[in-house]
Amino acid sequence: MTEPTIAQKSPFAVETEAGKNYFWCSCGESSRQPFCDGSHKGSSFVPTKFTAEKDGKVFFCGCKMSKRGALCDGTHNKI
């Protein structure tokens, strides 16, 4: 796998907790979207660590093509 799989063409809205680490799936194959379940093993993909700075909703990238890494930048609107 050289290109990520599009998990969905919209962001995943997730309530996060301040100081907690989240590991975003970069390959798109995880069954626990938007988070990693190890499905990337054997590929060049690795999960991206995201640490929440405050409690609240975060929009994680669902298309796996965001220029902001784990966070949605609207790229899904162009695919």
Q: In the 3-class helix/strand/coil scheme, how is 36-61 assigned residue by residue?
A: CCCCCCCCCCCCEEEECCCCEEEEEC
* Res 41: pLDDT: 96
Could you count the other beta carbons within 10 Å of the beta carbon of residue 50?
20
The structural domain count of the chain equals: 1
Residue 13 is assigned to a structural domain of this protein: yes
* Res 45: pLDDT: 97
Residue 9 is assigned to a structural domain of this protein: yes
Amino acid at position 14, single letter? V
Residue with tokens 């784990």: 70
Residue 79 is assigned to a structural domain of this protein: no
* Res 2: pLDDT: 87
* Res 1: pLDDT: 75
Domain with 64, as residue range(s), is: 1-74
Residue 27 is assigned to a structural domain of this protein: yes
**Side-chain half-sphere CA neighbours of 16 within 13 A:** 22
Pick the more confident residue, 1 or 62: 62
Residue 25 is assigned to a structural domain of this protein: yes
- Mean pLDDT across the stretch 60-74? 97
pLDDT tens digits for 6-60?
Answer: 999 999 999 999 999 999 999 999 999 999 999 999 999 999 999 999 999 999 9
Residue 68 is assigned to a structural domain of this protein: yes
* Res 13: pLDDT: 98
